[in-house]
Amino acid sequence: MTNIRLPRADRSIESFHLSAPRDFPEKTDAAMNRIGFSAAHVVSDPMADAEPWLSAAIDWEATIAYRERLWDLGLGVAEAMDTAQRGMGLDWPTSLELIQRSVAAAKARGGALVFSGAGTDHLAPEAAKTLDDVIRAYEEQIAAIEAVDGRIILMASRALARVARSPDDYAAVYDRVLGQMREPAIIHWLGDMFDPALAGYWGSADLDAAMDTAVAIINAHAAKVDGVKISLLDKDKEIAMRRRLAPGVRMYTGDDFNYAELIAGDAEGHSDALLGIFDAIAPAASAALVALAKGDEATFHDILAPTVPLSRHIFRAPTRFYKTGIVFMAYLNGHQDHFTMVGGQESARSTLHLAELFRLADAAGLLRDPERAAMRMRTVLSARGIDA
């Protein structure tokens, strides 16, 4: 049995005994009856001579290898989203290179599932003066992604949140942008707990009023909308919106607190998934979706139930720092050789937070090599002044 010394909130140190990992397959070609996108992280290059706060140095080989792993598990890749630190360390030129490389890798596999984020992040919010400025910014990114035959996730725009004065302004922008789409897009409604600059999106701080506007826009352009990803961490809001969508428009849950029950669904429907947590729990997510497709809902919940406390911990407030936990899981499980992040965000969570993440990952059976995970946890604790 592998043991490690972990810090506790009362400043004591406990001896923690790791459990055996659950036996999840690393590859599958089994059918799934839910679409499961993982919003994938990028792997930083710790050997690059670059200033982490000023420029993003990416280990491209490791980054694409991680996407290959997700595809092996039957998951789709939601590329260049906030999980990849988009707009939070990853600028548009680097995001576009990431998209180009990822789409090329998907083509080489015969068309693995990948949708890519198109936003307005190359336009500084303070530089946006009119709705036309926002529209042109969206058009530039959409054209660049479609030029490599990429599919679009239409990301929420900080610039639009800044310049819009009413719900009608949102309708005008989305009408123009969606009308030009080559293929149906996924609309992303990202709550301000993930990005404070998006407060009041859709023209109102009242979520019910905002939802009215979003549903009206989406349903008016249903032929151009594959689905909507809602990231409000409020299952009741998601279910309410899901029931109002036009036929054929999918709901992709972005609720990293309640995803299991939302994916399972109810008598009136279910959500597909586009989740940051699927990056950290990919083998479990894959196995659970395969079980659900076989009609084995008990196994689906047995697999995912212990991952929910881990996800709620990783995404706890301030939620925008969840990416630290996602990358830490990849490091513990050997998918990258270091715990270094774009923007230096490995420092965004406390040592106690990382220690609790380790306990919860162990409880979910997600530390696939306990000895390696313990060794890497000790390395991080030692760097932070704790003898483990």
Digit-by-digit pLDDT tens for the chain (388 residues) are 799 999 999 999 999 999 999 999 999 999 999 999 999 999 999 999 988 888 899 999 999 999 999 999 999 999 999 999 998 999 999 999 999 999 999 999 999 999 999 999 999 999 999 999 999 999 999 999 999 999 999 999 999 999 999 999 999 999 999 999 999 999 999 999 999 999 999 999 999 999 999 999 999 999 999 999 999 999 999 999 999 999 999 999 999 999 999 999 999 999 999 999 999 999 999 999 999 999 999 999 999 999 999 999 999 999 999 999 999 999 999 999 999 999 999 999 999 999 999 999 999 999 999 999 999 999 999 999 998 7
State residue 288's pLDDT score.
98
Q: Report if residue 114 sits inside a domain.
A: yes
Cα 287 to Cα 103, 135, 229, 263, 309: the distances in Å are 25, 41, 22, 14, 18
**In angstroms, how far is the first alpha carbon of the chain from the final one?**
16
Note down the domain range covering 33: 25-305
What is the torsional sign of CA 23, 272, 278, 211? Answer: negative
Compute the chain's Rg from CA coordinates.
20
List the CATH number of the domain containing 256: 3.20.20.70
Q: Report if residue 375 sits inside a domain.
A: no
Q: Report if residue 289 sits inside a domain.
A: yes
State residue 234's pLDDT score.
95
How many residues make up the chain in this entry? 388
State residue 49's pLDDT score.
93
State residue 52's pLDDT score.
86
Total number of domains constituting the chain: 1
Q: Report if residue 75 sits inside a domain.
A: yes
Candidates 177, 182, 186; CA nearest to 251 is 186
Q: Report if residue 225 sits inside a domain.
A: yes
State residue 273's pLDDT score.
98
Q: Report if residue 17 sits inside a domain.
A: no
Q: Report if residue 66 sits inside a domain.
A: yes
Q: Report if residue 182 sits inside a domain.
A: yes
